Amino acid sequence: MPPLTRALYDLGPPPNCPLPFNMADYVMQAGRLQPEKTALLVLHGAQGDIAETWSFAALDRAIRATAAGLIARGLQPRDRVALRMGNLSDFPVLFFGTIAAGGIAVPTSAQLTQAEFAHLAEDMTPRFVAMAEDLALPNPGAEILRQADWQSLRQTAPISPVKSQPDDPAFLIYTSGTSGRPKGVLHAQRAAWARRMMWADWYGLGRADVMLHAGAFNWTYTLGTGLTDPWAAGATSLIHTGPARAEDLPAIAQSHHATILAAVPGVYRRILRGKSDLSQAFADLRHALTAGEKMPQALAEDWQIRTGKPVYEALGMSEISTYLSSGPSCPPRPGAIGKPQTGRRVAILEADGEPAPIGTEGALAISRRDPGLMLGYWNQPEATEASHQGTWFLTGDRAAMDQDGYVSYAGRADDVMTALGYRVSPQEVEDALTAHPAIQDAGVTQVQLRDDLTLIAAFCVVEGDWPGDNVLASYAAQHLAAYKCPRLWVKRTALPRTANGKLIRRQLAQSFDPAAPSVPRQQPGSDPA
């Protein structure tokens, strides 16, 4: 490809999606050619002891039986089934079983509070809520399925997945927006097929691979990279019932001969803090994958030195998954995320909507023709329309492109934060904090604690004496998922605002002094790194 003169990268059309197309059926096709091969090992403990072994045949049958069971219980086409549980094998079985039945699967985090989930349930109006035994939801307005119910679904005679079309809805993901109101991102069946563009240009994925993913099932990174793609390629997935400590991952990888490791940068940082011989532990690893947030260059270099294996980075979002990456066929370049994957059409746009000159920062955009792009935001047509500019979908990110197509990331155009790979709305956190009787005003943003670490910080104006970091951290933990909770608490007498009262969050971040006495507050079971 000749050097680019404008920031528009297009190497041809995406792969054509076959007709008809059901995502759940597609994911199991490769496994039907090797039915007795292991599709999934569910692991537990520091050494990754095997809790469950699923062959492709057993997994395929469970998914199709679950589809039949849901239909028998009254599931209608496009009914929503919300999943609210931890890293149990039931999660992917119910997820793909719902899609096989023609329903819309809605994965959610088990970390959400009752109030947070109730808000989502009000928006999605689920037909069923599959919920872990230790979780509760008052007045869900839907039929609750507990673990005994999930297992009874699998006793139904299996059916063939419904013959969906590529543009039929398949799953719904909730993600934070700038308003604090979670957005439901509705994806089509074709989203799974579009992921094949990642196989060569990020994974180098094949049927001989063993994928170890460090994330939770509810996260799209795990559902896609850890399950959907390996199974569609006929490869094996390793998932820990969790929470898996990062320092245990080398032993787990060594025990189960992982060939690809996928995680967020913070997990790699914690692995490198360990004392183990990482080159021996990851001897079978071909390479590692990172996404969810920007990986510092020094961290990537340290990983390469300590393990002898490359780490390939990707940039994506809930609305399309990853679309920029380095990989076996696209060597990493310092300062850049990578290049658009083959079949993607990506541009850096100026204010007038035209591709920017090479090297000029602008709005990062993806062609609306991309088969991986969402159908739209659930019940928010205005937000869907606002994300479009002509033939482009605006990602909300800022970036620049060099003459070879490598893209350098310049951050979000809005105030949405990234914590442990999750997108977090500062307004949502602020709304929760200002409900505390002592907090008169609150501003939330990410701050730089050191070169390779950013944390969510809450700048609070309080009435009377400071309640104490522990008290505020405990209050936040009761009202927010753990990954949304501030790790730093900073007292302020006033917050910077515009003349019309709008909070200027960037000034909060600029005013933060890492040497000040504020202490990072870590929630139980979490790691801010």
d(CA 62, CA 94): 9
Give the percent of the chain with pLDDT over 90.
68
Q: How confident is the model at residue 244 (pLDDT cuts 50, 70, 90)?
A: low
Determine the residue type at 393.
F
- pLDDT, residue 514, reads 79
- Give the pLDDT of residue 524: 33
Phi first, then psi, for residue 322 (nearest 5°) are: -80, 145
Helix (H, G, I), strand (E, B) or coil at 345: strand
523: pLDDT strictly greater than 50 = no
Evaluate if residue 17 carries a pLDDT over 80. yes
pLDDT in tens, 445-470: 999 887 778 899 999 999 899 999 99
- Per the model's pLDDT, the better-predicted residue between 457 and 110 turns out to be 457
**How many other CB atoms sit within 10 Å of the CB of residue 510?**
11
Percent of the chain, pLDDT > 70?
94
The pLDDT score that the predictor gives to residue 257 is 98
pLDDT of residue 378: 97
Token pair 């609070």 in the structure block, residue: 460
Backbone angles phi, psi at 348, to 5 degrees: -105, 120
CA distance 186 to 127: 17
| pLDDT reported for residue 521 | 41
Tell me the pLDDT tens digit for each residue of 25-78: 999 999 999 999 999 999 998 889 999 999 999 999 999 999 999 999 999 999
8 Å CB contact between 199 and 58: no
**pLDDT for the residue 505:** 85
Parallel/antiparallel/unpaired status of strands 392-401 and 407-412:
antiparallel
Give 349's contacts (C-beta < 8 A, 6+ positions apart).
Answer: 7, 355, 356, 362, 363, 364, 365, 389, 392, 394
Do the Cβ atoms of 325 and 337 come closer than 8 Å?
A: yes
Omega into 18 within 30° of 0, i.e. cis? no
Please state, in angstroms and rounded to a whole number, the distance separating the CA atoms of residues 225 and 212: 10
pTM of the model: 0.84
Condensed to tens digits (0 to 9), the pLDDT of residues 355-382 reads 999 999 899 999 999 999 999 999 999 9
Q: Give the integer Cα–Cα distance in Å for 472 and 113.
A: 17
Q: Would you list the DSSP string of 310-332? A: -EEEEEEETTTEEEEE-BTTB--
DSSP annotation of 115 reads H
Q: What single DSSP character describes residue 438?
A: T
Q: Which two tokens stand for residue 335?
A: 């300062």
- In terms of Cβ atoms closer than 10 Å to its own Cβ (0-12, 13-18, 19+), residue 426 is buried
- Per DSSP, the three-state class of 50 is strand
Of the given ranges (97-106, 258-267, 270-279, 337-346), which has the lowest mean pLDDT?
Answer: 270-279
Angle between helices 265-273 and 297-307 (to 10 degrees): 50
Three-state DSSP string of 175-240: ECCCCCCCEEEEEECHHHHHCHHHHHHHHCCCCCCEEEECCCCCCHHHHHHHHHHHHHHCCEEEEE
Give 149-187 pLDDT, tens digit per residue. Answer: 999 999 999 999 999 999 999 999 998 655 557 899 999
Q: What is the mean pLDDT of the chain?
A: 90
pLDDT for position 525: 33
Bond preceding residue 340 cis, omega within 30 of 0? no
Tokens of 355: 């591709």
Reported confidence tier of residue 236, pLDDT bands at 50, 70, 90: very high
Residue 94 has pLDDT above 70, yes or no: yes
Predicted local distance difference test score (pLDDT) of residue 177? 56
Sign of the dihedral defined by the CA atoms of residues 112, 409, 224, 74, in that order: positive
529 pLDDT tier (thresholds 50, 70, 90): very low
According to DSSP, the β-strands at 362-367 and 392-401 are antiparallel
∠ Cα 406 408 413 (to 5°): 135
Confidence of residue 335 (pLDDT cuts 50, 70, 90): confident
Q: How far apart are CA 446 and CA 325, in angstroms?
A: 25
Contact between residue 522 and residue 528 where contact means Cβ atoms under 8 Å apart: yes
Residue 103: name the closest of 41, 20, 47, 186 by CA. Answer: 186
What pLDDT is attached to residue 139? 66
| The token pair that represents 208 in the structure block | 């001989």
